[in-house]
Structures are given as structure tokens and as C-alpha cells.
């Protein structure tokens, strides 16, 4: 019961926080991305005990942070290319609608979404170094690019409601401005933009093995007699509106991601200056905090805690493609790459720096990391998880994943204690 109360409270705070931030952004900013805000350079402080005892490791931390900035740019470029491929595959589906092109669009969505989720840790790192306005802009763009959970019936038909959604609401214009206006207009889950709107349009919301047929995207070029008598135009027919919806949301995804890239490219030089003027101790804390924040927000608060309470609608990121395990694997891979792949000229990695600070990190962190990755992939791979209540066995699996991730966060956070004492 205590866990349920805590989880509900945390999730409530999270939703309220998102709503407040999004509202503040919309009030404070125009439709264009806000002007870049200068980063305040921290004042030089007296070297910490760690820096005095380990000057080489401190210098290595700065080198790794600077290299990480380059990696963020490279990963964003790659994700941008994948998003453009997704738009091309959707254009091919609309131009020539058949099962083969629908399958190709689905496969491209899976690859593209994984590439984007690989950048999750980057955003948590960036928000610690951007100014307040730019952090707010980044959060708004994230809400437009990859919001979840979504209300599928707000977009298109679901079982039992064949005429639901904007696809069937001829009073809603299907253009970029209109979809932006509809996005989260009354609730943050009323989503019309981003990856998961596209996911639902491609897969549909049928139970069992049924998915959306390619015929849902057929172009209708002639009205029936009944439709003529009702007064419909070709543009108002659900199949044609669905084609238009999918086309526009793909175009908007490209536009929003380019805005995110532009924000990063503008701020990257200032972030490098910030890193150059910041102590190695502070940079280690920033990197550790980024990892802890990602694990806490993305996995515990948004997914595992609501799942433990039986809320499978809110806890599953990609229920229509059944690929949440892919997204989580990409998120954890981003964390692992930062720890192991970013190395200085003499071969020092962030993992070696963390291990030099904390014996517990080197001994226990990766045990929990490997186990949690396996636990989460198994948990999210269960194709029935969002359709059934938790059994005792399922609750045990969820609690196991929670404990493993919590242990990772604990070992990570102890670094700061060992670093400053």
C-alpha cells in the first residue's frame, strides 16, 4: 500500500510538472524555438580533495565530458537521418499502398525510434548545462517528438468505437498548424504528434494478432452514392484523412527534430566553454546525476511504479508495436556507452574514474546493470502485459526490476558522497 501511495504521488507530480512546464513554454514563447540563452560560467572554486589527490583523473573527466559533447552531436545527426528515412517510408506507403510498404514503414519506425531512444541520456545531460529557457524548450520539443502514453481513440478508431478520433472528425483540419493546436490541448495524453501517434496509425489498436490492414490507407478517389447524398467530399473520407494525418505527423516529426538539432548546435559551443571552466569533480557529479535522473524518470517513475500498481496503459511506452523492450535497451545502451566507450587519449574511461572513486561501483554496479537489462527485456517482451492485471509472479518480476535499477542508482549516487567526503 505504501508503495502504491508513493508511486501515485510521484506520477501525479510528474504529470503536473509536465503540464506546468508545457503551459509556461507556450505562454512565454512563440511558435518558433526560443532564442538561445547564454550559459552562466561557473566561478572557479578551490580544488576538491579528489582533484588534489587525482589530478590526472580529474583532467580525464573533463576530456571525457568534452568528447561526450561530440558524441551527442553525432548521435543526433544519426537519429535525424533515421527520421528522414521514416518520412520517406511513409511517403512510399502513401504513394503506393500495399502490405509490403506498410511492413517496411513499420520496420523503419522500429529502427528510427530505437535510434532516438539512444539519445535519451544526452537530453538529461544537456538539461543540466543549458539555461532555464533552453531547457524548457528542449522539454517542449521532447513532448512533441516522443510523448507517451497516448490516448489512441483521440487519433483514430479503436475496438468498439469505429468512428472515434480526429481521423473521423471532419471539423478538424489535417495540417501542421491544426495538429499542433490539437496536441495536448486538454490533456497531456491527447497526443497528435510524435513517434507514438505514427506508431498507432501504422499498427492500430486491435487485440490478439490483428493489426491495421493496408486497406486502411487506400486512396478513395470516387464517392459512393450514399456519400454524395450525405454531402461528403473526397478529403473528408476516413481513409483519405488517415493518409493525410500520417503524412502530416511525419512531416511535423522531421520539423521538430530539426529544431532540437538546431538548439543543440547553437548551444554546443557554450556547453564546451562551460565544461572547460568547470572542475573535474563537478563534471563527474553532472555525469552521475544525468544517469541517475534517466534511470529514475524513464524507468521507475514513468513505467515500473505504475506497472506495479496495475496501470498498464500508462506504463508501456510502445504498446501498439509491442517494442517497449527495444526502447529500454537503447536507453541502457546509451548509458553503457558513456561509461565504457568514451575514453581519453591514454585509455581512461568514465567507468575507470567511477571505480577509482568507489569500490562498490566497480564491484556491484554492472552486476545490477546486466541483470536489470535482462529483467526489463523479459518484462516488456511479454505480449500480454498491457492487457492483463498483475499476477503474483508478475508482481515479483516487476519488483525485481525495480530493486535492480534502484541498486544501480544507489551505487551511482554514492559516488557523490565518496567524491566530496
Beta partners for 158?
161
Flag whether pLDDT at 338 surpasses 90. yes
Closest listed residue to residue 330, CA positions, set 83, 85, 67, 116: 116
In this prediction, residue 33 carries a pLDDT of: 42
Overall average pLDDT of the 51-65 stretch: 86
Flag whether pLDDT at 47 surpasses 70. no
Between residues 72 and 44, the one the model is more confident about: 72
In this prediction, residue 231 carries a pLDDT of: 87
Query: How high does pLDDT run on average in the chain?
Result: 86
Flag whether pLDDT at 8 surpasses 50. no
Look up residue 22 and give its three cell numbers.
508545457
Q: Residues 331, 294: contact at Cβ < 8 Å?
A: yes
Q: Could you tell me the pTM of the whole model?
A: 0.86
At residue 161, φ and ψ (nearest 5 deg) are -135, 75
Domain range summary for the chain, segments of one domain joined by +? 2-31+50-420
What is the residue-wise DSSP string for 298-364?
IIIIIIIHHHHTT-HHHH-S-TTTT-HHHHHHHHHHHHHHHHHT-B-TT--BHHHHHHHH-HHIIII
Between residues 209 and 415, the one the model is more confident about: 415
Between residues 374 and 43, the one the model is more confident about: 374
Question: Which of 29-33, 46-50, 208-212 is the least confident region?
Answer: 29-33
Q: Residues 294, 124: contact at Cβ < 8 Å?
A: yes
Flag whether pLDDT at 3 surpasses 50. no
Flag whether pLDDT at 189 surpasses 80. yes
Between residues 24 and 218, the one the model is more confident about: 218
Overall average pLDDT of the 70-77 stretch: 97
At residue 77, φ and ψ (nearest 5 deg) are -60, -45
Please count the CA atoms within 13 angstroms of the CA of 24 that sit on its side-chain side: 13
Instruction: Tell me the C-alpha distance between 117 and 82, whole Å.
Output: 12
Instruction: Tell me the C-alpha distance between 256 and 262, whole Å.
Output: 10
| 97 DSSP 8-state letter | -
Q: Kindly give, in sequence order, each residue whose CB lies less than 8 Å from that of residue 291, ignoring residues fewer than 6 positions away.
A: 121, 124, 335, 338, 412
CATH of 2-31+50-420, one of 3.30.420.40, 3.40.50.1000, 1.10.3720.10, 1.20.1420.20: 1.20.1420.20
Binning the chain into helix, strand and coil, the percentages to the nearest 5 are 70, 0, 30
Closest listed residue to residue 379, CA positions, set 364, 399, 365: 399
Flag whether pLDDT at 419 surpasses 90. no
Percent share of the chain, pLDDT over 90: 65
At residue 346, φ and ψ (nearest 5 deg) are -95, 10
Q: Residues 253, 195: contact at Cβ < 8 Å?
A: yes
Between residues 244 and 8, the one the model is more confident about: 244
Overall average pLDDT of the 61-66 stretch: 95
Overall average pLDDT of the 275-279 stretch: 92
pLDDT digits (tens, 9 = 90+) for 285-335: 999 999 999 999 999 999 999 999 888 778 999 999 999 999 999 999 999
Q: Residues 275, 65: contact at Cβ < 8 Å?
A: yes
Look up residue 277 and give its three cell numbers.
571552466
In this prediction, residue 152 carries a pLDDT of: 94
In this prediction, residue 208 carries a pLDDT of: 47
Report the alpha-carbon angle 107-378-210, nearest 5. Answer: 45
pLDDT digits (tens, 9 = 90+) for 142-187: 999 999 999 999 999 998 899 999 999 999 999 999 999 999 999 9
pLDDT band at 125 (very low <50, low <70, confident <90, very high): very high
Question: Which of 26-40, 117-131, 153-167, 210-224 is the least confident region?
Answer: 26-40
pLDDT band at 22 (very low <50, low <70, confident <90, very high): very low
In this prediction, residue 16 carries a pLDDT of: 39
Flag whether pLDDT at 97 surpasses 60. yes
What is the residue-wise DSSP string for 44-65?
P-PPPHHHHH-HHHHHHHHHHH
Flag whether pLDDT at 107 surpasses 80. yes
Percent share of the chain, pLDDT over 70: 84
Amino acid at each position: 500500500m505504501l508503495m502504491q501511495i508513493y508511486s501515485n504521488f510521484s506520477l501525479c507530480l510528474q504529470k503536473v510538472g509536465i503540464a506546468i512546464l508545457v503551459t509556461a513554454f507556450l505562454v512565454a514563447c512563440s511558435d518558433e524555438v526560443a532564442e538561445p540563452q547564454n550559459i552562466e560560467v561557473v566561478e572557479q572554486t578551490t580544488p576538491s580533495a579528489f582533484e588534489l589527490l587525482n589530478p590526472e583523473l580529474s583532467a580525464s573527466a573533463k576530456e571525457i565530458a568534452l568528447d561526450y559533447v561530440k558524441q551527442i552531436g553525432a548521435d543526433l545527426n544519426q537519429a535525424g537521418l533515421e527520421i528522414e528515412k521514416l518520412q520517406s517510408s511513409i511517403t512510399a506507403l502513401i504513394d503506393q499502398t500495399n502490405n509490403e510498404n506498410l511492413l517496411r514503414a513499420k520496420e523503419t519506425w522500429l529502427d528510427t525510434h530505437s535510434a532516438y531512444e539512444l539519445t535519451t541520456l544526452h537530453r538529461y545531460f544537456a538539461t543540466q548545462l543549458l539555461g532555464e529557457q533552453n531547457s524548457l524548450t528542449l522539454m517542449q520539443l521532447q513532448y512533441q517528438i516522443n510523448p507517451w502514453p497516448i490516448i489512441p481513440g483521440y487519433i483514430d478508431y479503436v475496438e468498439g468505437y469505429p468512428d472515434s478520433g480526429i481521423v473521423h472528425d471532419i471539423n478538424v483540419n489535417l495540417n501542421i498548424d491544426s495538429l499542433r493546436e490539437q496536441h495536448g490541448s486538454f490533456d497531456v495524453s491527447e497526443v497528435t504528434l510524435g513517434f507514438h501517434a505514427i506508431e498507432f496509425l501504422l499498427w492500430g489498436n486491435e487485440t490478439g494478432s490483428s493489426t491495421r490492414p493496408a486497406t486502411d490507407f487506400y486512396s478513395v478517389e470516387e464517392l459512393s452514392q450514399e456519400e454524395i447524398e450525405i454531402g461528403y467530399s473526397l478529403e473528408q473520407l476516413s481513409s483519405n484523412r488517415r493518409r493525410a494525418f500520417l503524412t502530416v505527423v511525419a512531416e511535423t516529426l522531421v520539423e521538430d527534430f530539426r529544431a532540437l538539432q538546431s538548439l543543440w548546435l547553437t548551444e554546443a559551443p557554450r556547453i564546451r566553454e562551460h565544461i572547460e571552466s568547470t572542475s573535474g569533480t563537478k563534471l563527474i557529479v553532472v555525469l552521475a546525476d544525468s544517469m541517475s535522473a534517466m534511470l529514475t524518470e524513464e524507468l521507475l517513475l514513468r513505467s515500473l511504479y505504475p506497472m506495479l500498481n496495475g496501470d498498464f496503459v500508462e506504463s508501456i511506452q510502445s504498446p501498439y508495436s509491442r517494442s517497449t523492450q527495444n526502447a529500454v535497451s537503447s536507453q541502457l545502451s546509451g548509458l553503457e556507452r558513456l561509461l565504457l566507450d568514451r575514453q581519453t587519449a591514454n585509455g581512461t574511461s568514465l567507468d575507470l574514474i567511477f571505480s577509482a572513486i568507489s569500490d562498490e561501483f566497480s564491484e556491484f554496479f554492472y552486476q545490477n546493470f546486466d541483470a536489470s537489462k535482462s529483467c526489463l527485456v523479459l518484462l516488456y517482451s511479454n505480449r500480454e502485459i498491457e492487457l492483463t492485471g498483475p499476477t503474483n509472479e508478475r508482481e515479483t518480476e516487476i519488483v525485481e526490476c525495480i530493486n535492480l535499477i534502484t541498486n544501480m542508482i544507489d551505487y551511482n549516487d554514492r559516488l557523490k558522497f565518496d567524491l566530496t567526503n
